[in-house]
Structure 1
Amino acid sequence: MTIAVLGAGGGGLSAVVELTQAGHDVVLWNRNPAKLAVHQANGGVLHRGVFGEGLAQPKRITSDLAEALDAAEAVVICLPSIVHGRLFADLAAVGCQVPVVLNPGHTGGALHLRTVFAKAGVQLPPVAEFSTLTYVARVNDAGVVNTTGRAAQVRVAALPGGAAAVEWAKRLFPGCKEVPDVLASSLSNVNLVLHPPGAILGAAWVEASGGDFTFYVEGMTEGVGRVLEQLDAERLAVARAFGHELPSLVAEMDEIGTVDPVAARAGDTVAAIRGGTANAAIMAPDSFAHRYYQEDLAFGLLPFVELARIAGTPVPVAEALLTLGSTAVGGDLLASGLDAAALGLSGTTRDQLLESVRQ
């Protein structure tokens, strides 16, 4: 089976390693040829971590999207949501009709893709989204991907007509747990809750030190934990308004395998996150250009607030974090984010939204 993996960051490269080791023919695509050059020079993807140490050799490495999709039986997108819009438009332009798996879908990824295809007048392919990326991984300057964690479980859901994409997701990434709709998967996005409180409350520390502290250990203070818990309560309330009972953040992360399980099951949020080995060495953002600000505000909190508005559920902590974060970062951070229009939800009621996402 030929699988196109779109994205050459930590997630995409980890997917290349896992899928290659599973016996699939993998094509690695990235828009920027310079980012692929190191892997072409290495003869593949050098890796270490949970998949062992070695060289994964894709069938092809290319920056040509049409070439990447040629003969592909499924497409796996492992990219930040900040670049989704451009890629989705390109996929519509080439008429992509093979199943698409968003790994991850972030918050509202499948809805965003549907909107872009609809605007282009192109039939939507089968689409499924994961609640979170299946990996904890970073890439060094030599192009070596260090995968420190592989999720034991992630949630997956499809848009109506997307059953084939869910089947591919389950086949390619063991540990998928299917949920009823993409609202449940989007609202299970752990980064929506995990990143903004620490990034925003720690903004002065980020600016003063250039991020010279561990985000999930030193940056996870008691105060940050209290804000995080309130944000999580809002997330669960919005999910409940759409008919979903979801686990708390630390319970979700316990299932994924990125927190200390003893502390998580005792309900100690701060100790659970501090004690997670997969994230322990990850440093804080080095500036406001980091994705914890650029992505998790405009493409995480913003669509969450939009969903909360449709659900009729107040989310004062999310709104405060969004306001403070966008003010601190400056510029027009939210202008290109996932607002109601980008999600295809302008003027949509709760019942209309539920009808549009359920099979």
Structure 2
Amino acid sequence: MKAAVLGAGAGGAASVVELIQAGHDVHFWARSADTLEPHVRLGGIAYDGKLGEGVAKPALITTDLKAAISGVDVAVVVLPTFTHSAMAAALAAAGWPSDKLVVLNPGHTGGALEFAETFSRSGRAAPPVVEFSTMTYVARKYRPDGVTISGRAKHLKAASLKGGARAIEVAATLYPGLVPVEDVIASDLSNVNMILHPPGAVLAAAWVEATGGDFTFYVDAMTPGVARVMQQLDRERLAVAEAFGHKLPNLIEEMKLLGTVEPDVTDTADYRAAISGGTANSRIKGPDSLQNRYYKEDFGHGLLPFLEFARIAKVEAPVAEALYRLAQIAVGTDYREGGRTAEAMGIAGLSKQQVIEKVRM
């Protein structure tokens, strides 16, 4: 299959590596020439970790979006979720066909809805969109021309907005191990980062600013108090999911499926022990500032859309609301400006039943 991987961060680089290893023809795109220049010089992406070691060589490395999507079967968007709307507009302007699949790796919370809503504002029908509940990889770029992949999700939830089972089948050709769920609400509310990051990001904000992130986020910052807040936030997530007709695993069970909590963990109610004992995340440092993606992404494009779903479902979420408000004050921003609001997702004014009907069309 011919795929355009859009995004040259750690996730995009890891995607290129895996897709090339699987025999797919890959185009590698990023907006920034400076980001791509080390890869152009090397002729590809150096990699090490879970997928082995070597250099993956895409058929094309480019900053030209039209060239990147020319002749491909699928566009794989591996970018921070706060860029999804801009990427949808850019793909529409570049002539992406309404019948060709777009994969959001990840979509996180509300990704497919926001992408489709933005694309449709171009005056053309939105393409089929498959969203993953979280990123396929635990990966970091420790060098400008390479990626270290410390984890690869074993069971990754995915859902399609338009395109149905066929769209999921195509996505699974690229990313084996996908677990289809009933609709994008189920995948939206399976976003582990929405629960995993905000409690520590808010409660360790002073530590972030004082040390520049010189601590391990999933070990040092996973204190008993943070874990208790996280567990209560998770209960709110499960209550909203149930209101939409979905019975989801708790955070620890979800992370066991992904492979970021060890498979031999039996006490899934002990959030602190389970998360801090996970090998894949153990070395990951805390955010280096309050401008880090944990703040930019997991509030305005995580907790905000979650709170929109909670309001539509008429479920109270006081912990999510408190963390969201505190983050806005600490960071000094209004996450609704450019955030994933109900309006951005095309569900403003809809009832719970109307949202369910929209995602299962």
Query: TM-score w.r.t. structure 1 length?
Result: 0.98
Who is 2:179 aligned against? 177
In 1, the alpha carbon distance for the partners of 2:186 and 2:231 equals 19
8 A contact 1:181–1:357 mirrored in 2: yes
In 2, the alpha carbon distance for the partners of 1:333 and 1:301 equals 10
Who is 1:52 aligned against? 52
Who is 1:13 aligned against? 13
Give the alignment's Cα RMSD to 1 decimal: 1.1
In 1, the alpha carbon distance for the partners of 2:288 and 2:242 equals 36
1:192-226: per-residue Cα shift (whole Å, max 9, x none)? Answer: 00000001000011111111100000010000000
In 2, the alpha carbon distance for the partners of 1:333 and 1:140 equals 29
Who is 1:106 aligned against? 108
8 A contact 2:252–2:268 mirrored in 1: no
8 A contact 2:255–2:261 mirrored in 1: yes
1:310-330: per-residue Cα shift (whole Å, max 9, x none)? Answer: 011100000000000111000
1:350 maps to a residue whose letter is K
SS in 1 for 2:159: strand
8 A contact 1:101–1:165 mirrored in 2: no
8 A contact 2:13–2:146 mirrored in 1: no
Q: Percent identity?
A: 54
1:76 maps to a residue whose letter is V
Q: What is the Cα deviation at residue 120 of structure 1?
A: 1.3
In 2, the alpha carbon distance for the partners of 1:141 and 1:54 equals 14
Map 1:1-359 to 2 at 5 A: 1-97=1-97, 98-263=100-265, 265-359=267-361
1:114-167: per-residue Cα shift (whole Å, max 9, x none)? Answer: 110221111111111001110000002332200000000110100133443211
SS in 2 for 1:262: coil
Structure 2 gap segments, 5+ residues each: none
Aligned residues: 359
Q: What is the Cα deviation at residue 343 of structure 1?
A: 0.8
1:323 maps to a residue whose letter is R
SS in 2 for 1:261: coil
Structure 1 gap segments, 5+ residues each: none
In 1, the alpha carbon distance for the partners of 2:269 and 2:317 equals 22
Describe the shift of the 1:107–1:266 C-alpha distance in structure 2 as closer, same or farther (beyond 3 A).
closer
2:18 maps to a residue whose letter is E
Query: TM-score w.r.t. structure 2 length?
Result: 0.97
* Structure 1, 37-46 or 85-94: larger mean CA deviation: 85-94
8 A contact 1:126–1:163 mirrored in 2: no
Q: What is the Cα deviation at residue 260 of structure 1?
A: 2.6
Q: What is the Cα deviation at residue 266 of structure 1?
A: 4.6
In 1, the alpha carbon distance for the partners of 2:258 and 2:201 equals 22
8 A contact 1:110–1:129 mirrored in 2: yes
8 A contact 1:128–1:162 mirrored in 2: no
1:34 maps to a residue whose letter is D
* Structure 1, 70-79 or 259-268: larger mean CA deviation: 259-268
8 A contact 2:35–2:144 mirrored in 1: no
Q: What is the Cα deviation at residue 305 of structure 1?
A: 0.2
8 A contact 1:95–1:122 mirrored in 2: no
* Structure 1, 326-335 or 299-308: larger mean CA deviation: 326-335
